[in-house]
Structure 1
């Protein structure tokens, strides 16, 4: 099922991309552009989300550590 969905989404994406860039291509080329574009875009987006996920985790860890350090300073080490 995912392959059929990729072809359908790729065909739609290829159609939109070729129309936006004013390219005159046949149906097979349009679908190929869309499918390969979806693969490349999907991989790039997953890579960026992975990096962003790591960075978000790091920022969350720093903020959590700062909160615990503030609590320690304010309430415990008197």
Structure 2
């Protein structure tokens, strides 16, 4: 998600967050809280997904290597 959609979502999120947490803030403060929260949350989520992708790649590589070892031990040259 790009920065502009995060800002738009952040405006709504700031309004909802200040109401849910019962914070009495003016409109510019509410907008700033929402936009900053959306940007921080969006970039943090992107980083977590990237790390999960790297971890998934590592798990896939280990499983592939284990399958190859099993094939080698099962069908490879006998000692």
How does the TM-score come out when normalised to structure 1? 0.85
RMSD between superposed Cα atoms in Å? 1.7
Paired residue total: 77
SS at the partner of 2:23? coil
* Structure 2 residues without counterparts, runs of 5 or longer: none
* Structure 1 residues without counterparts, runs of 5 or longer: none
Runs (4+) off by over 3 Å: none
TM-superposed CA distance for 1:77, in Å, is 2.6
SS at the partner of 1:23? coil
How does the TM-score come out when normalised to structure 2? 0.84
